Chains A and B, each alone.
Chain A
């Protein structure tokens, strides 16, 4: 009797449990998060994520390397003195690959729905990110990258040449894919508000940027391809005004808000450099009040006197007490809601054309140069270009690449790493050097690979280092820079 009873209970219990595992699948399903995405589900986070990362890097890295601004006081060291820390590339590496993964899934969703416009957008964004990645580091994984789900935890590295081959081809493909007849039916995107035509212009403008980037490698025939694009605007439509440029309008409505939670940090212990502001002074440039604050001095009676726009020399030697004035810093309006983030603007496109013309591939360098200068002002909100602006001998087109690149430098202000990439390509604008600079006063040519890469992907790291010629060095020139 007792034995029977206990047996019965055990049996009952076993049955109970066997029955219960039936619901395990349901219990282990998250009731909140989604498992499927449409092509647009990931798009706005991608655009916002990339744009805010890029503007942050412009501020943290490009401004220092390219003598836009400098931390002040800064008696020694610092990126503006080419004192490059090992972890400097971590943030871009991590962010770029994170968003590349999102772009990959966006592409997959577009492929599944055979939605050509979203396919083209995904290819464009992918090229946009890979170009920056390889321009920062040189060889990086692309063929096997972001494929952990396929079991690839240690992706091989690809040479920069093959990366450019791939992304330029993708941009060609993307341009052909766009179908203006078919509208973008999902959630409106925050960059172009589902305007297919503008997306296509972005694709081709980016295509031009990247062709120019590799144009020192004559075997790529980049200039010829660029000429072909410029001469066939109906096949390769590009940005033709600032309004259609790839500029993210940060509205200030959550979550599309300024990445500066505290806008005052933008200028905390920061001054504009003499190099940056002196050129604008020489040109009597209307961009000054938008970008910078006025410098001031205290006179004998302790009155504060306005002394116009005045910066601090980058990589200055000696104590900060040598600067008896309160130098110009940034105007924080640039990072308070609402604000803009530049991805690729019409001004850049005009400067690309100006360079092509200056090199003799197309006509009318001066017009393109002027258009570029005016557009660069326009994108910052200059309402009227002074009539005599181009009469200034320093601004009037003089036929040199140096002049084009100097103005382009201002057009690329606050555009991720572009000023630096273009400097590495052309050596312009010529930046002053000082005694207190590290690295023998030589501008770094790339960033170190991320700190943990040697541990997290040691084989890939070794491949990358080998392709660089044996060491993970900031002075190694990347393929297009050789």
Chain B
């Protein structure tokens, strides 16, 4: 039996945000007889927070504040939060009421959380007979979360405040059995098992909110100006599975695993709710089989695998349900079209590779190539509203990804007091859309952010970014209109701007040690890929970037480009325009071309220096070893990408859209010390 208890406190870089947690667990094992053992695990987790930060491109986030704040406003002017005599009623917003006071966001506009989670299972292991084992287990994972959103008076979205109380109950119960057989026949070893699983998931959300508070700063539903608006939602599903696994091996040189699994999911239409997916996996230790271990090649392994993975989806998508509406006895037509007969998602992957250790293990090589085809992914494909819906649940055709991953490791130097180990990694992926959903012609929009769209077209990359660009003359110059501004493209003239996926990624990891010092550093990066930056557009428009110095002296610009003459020829643009007008047009939000940038970067990801205290210093202190280290992460970044770290730029709140940056928190560098002691 084991028991543990732990407490954590986490503070984020934003003031007044973070969470605390207490975890307690108990794990016991009991042998009833030499054939039967019972076990139980219970883990309790309590997590609470006075304020979880709001993120994303909206009034509630600090990132948004940073984009729109007036650079010549002293942040201390904001610090008192409330205007004198108007405490809790009117915030201080020097010069612009467009953005909220950042101290108001941090200290008054709060998102609280109180979460209680219990994870536990009881299990039994029964030795049925020699070589036969039966495992029975039921596991539960349940939590109850209370969340609140408190919004003070005068905040942008809620002039008279807002309060929301939310209860989330979630429960997942898994019951499974696994019958396994294991045996050894001379050089062969064999294990086989069959198992089954029943999983039920329940999720219930109760939400009550009031818009407008009678008394400022009192966050209770009964303090609402109107009766609370209620919203309830459930998400229930059940999945049953049966599976089998057989593993053979010969002399520990040849390995073969074969699996098969069938799932039944309640979320799928009846005809398709049962789906099967197999896998096979083999590896051969060639150096043993052909017996050529030596100094040059000490180990060589070949592996090949084929695997399918099936997936279901969220519940309630097979029938039409009207959306709840806050008018009494009212509803609206849902915006997503249900689907009576979609299929489960299946992805099929092939992977093969070698692993080699050369020159007395001085050089290690690992090389893999893979292909993953994802078929029938269940997604909400955007539709034009002229169909009556903004999206439809569809099977998304087929997308194929192929790639290479290489790892080369070398012990470059090794002596009694100096060693240097280095690892080089390199990877490349090619993505291609193979097939569109049934009924979808030509193309569909996978996702949109800012004014950039990811559009799927057969034969093209699934991470291709499209949008409006410049109008260009046949020789590639930017065409200006008669007003002296870059001309608007024709409506509907959407261009391919670039691919969000990099051409390749690489990394270099180094471990050096000399005497009692260990020194590690990691450099990595990517080459290629583009990101559309909405923040760049916003800051350029406001003239907040050093790249907008051009044209400030005379406050006019004659844009570099051509104008289309009436006879169809082009001549240089000579029209002078106000500087602000030029930036407004050139980097307008809808110009995905001018606001997209190469996302290549090279990053010094981590550096650490560790000192191992010599044994003789520790003497008889009882300490076996003592290490002191200093580290820094995310230290240097070399990139042409503006404002943000291109690696994290495309994280938008909790949603990731490759290739689109919409106002993210900058990624911080971290530094620290670490003292480690073993007794």
Contacts and interface: CB of A to CB of B under 8 A. Distances in A.
A binds B: yes
Interface of A: 1-2, 5-6, 9-10, 13-14, 16-17, 20-21, 23-25, 27-35, 37, 40-45, 48-49, 75-77, 85-87, 93-94, 97-98, 100-102, 104-105, 140-141, 145-149, 151-155, 186-187, 190, 253-257, 261-264, 268, 438, 448-461, 465, 471-473
16 contacts: A5-B129, A20-B198, A21-B266, A24-B238, A34-B321, A35-B321, A76-B578, A98-B333, A147-B387, A148-B383, A257-B211, A456-B382, A456-B384, A457-B386, A458-B442, A465-B492
A31 B439 CA distance: 31
Interface string B469-505: 0000000000000010000101111100000000000
A454 B578 CA distance: 33
A473 B493 CA distance: 13
| Cβ-closest 5 pairs across A and B | A146-B388, A454-B492, A101-B388, A33-B321, A456-B384
Contact of A456 (B274, B318, B383): B383
B599 interface: no
A431 to B, nearest CB: 21
Contacts of B273: 21, 24
Interface residues of B, number: 90
Nearest to B437: A153
A28 B318 contact: yes
B387 A452 contact: no
B581 A146 contact: no
A106 B466 CA distance: 38
A6 B179 contact: yes
B236 interface: yes
A262 B128 contact: no
B388 A97 contact: yes
B583 to A, nearest CB: 11
B622 to A, nearest CB: 53
B61 interface: no
B128 A17 contact: no
Contact of A455 (B179, B320, B329, B445): B445
Contact of A86 (B237, B266, B445, B468): B468
B383 to A, nearest CB: 6
B480 to A, nearest CB: 14
A143 to B, nearest CB: 11
Given A148-B387, A155-B386, A456-B383, A32 B322 contact: no
Interface stretch (B49-57, B113-121, B155-163): B155-163
A21 B316 CA distance: 16
A261 B270 contact: no
- Pick from B98, B382, B389 the residue with the most CB of A within 10 Å: B389
Contacts of A256: 327
B333 A450 contact: no
A21 B264 contact: yes
Given A85-B590, A149-B337, A255 B326 contact: yes
Nearest to A1: B129
Contacts of B318: 28
B238 A455 contact: no
Nearest to B211: A254
Interface stretch (B227-235, B290-298, B351-359, B423-431): B227-235
Contacts of A438: 483
Contact of B159 (A9, A140, A261, A460): A261
Contacts of A93: 385-386
A93 B491 CA distance: 15
B253 interface: no
Contact of A34 (B331, B392, B440): B331
Interface string B232-273: 111011101010000000000000000000001011001001
B7 interface: no
B494 A455 contact: yes
Nearest to A269: B98
A455 B455 contact: yes
B566 interface: no
A274 to B, nearest CB: 23
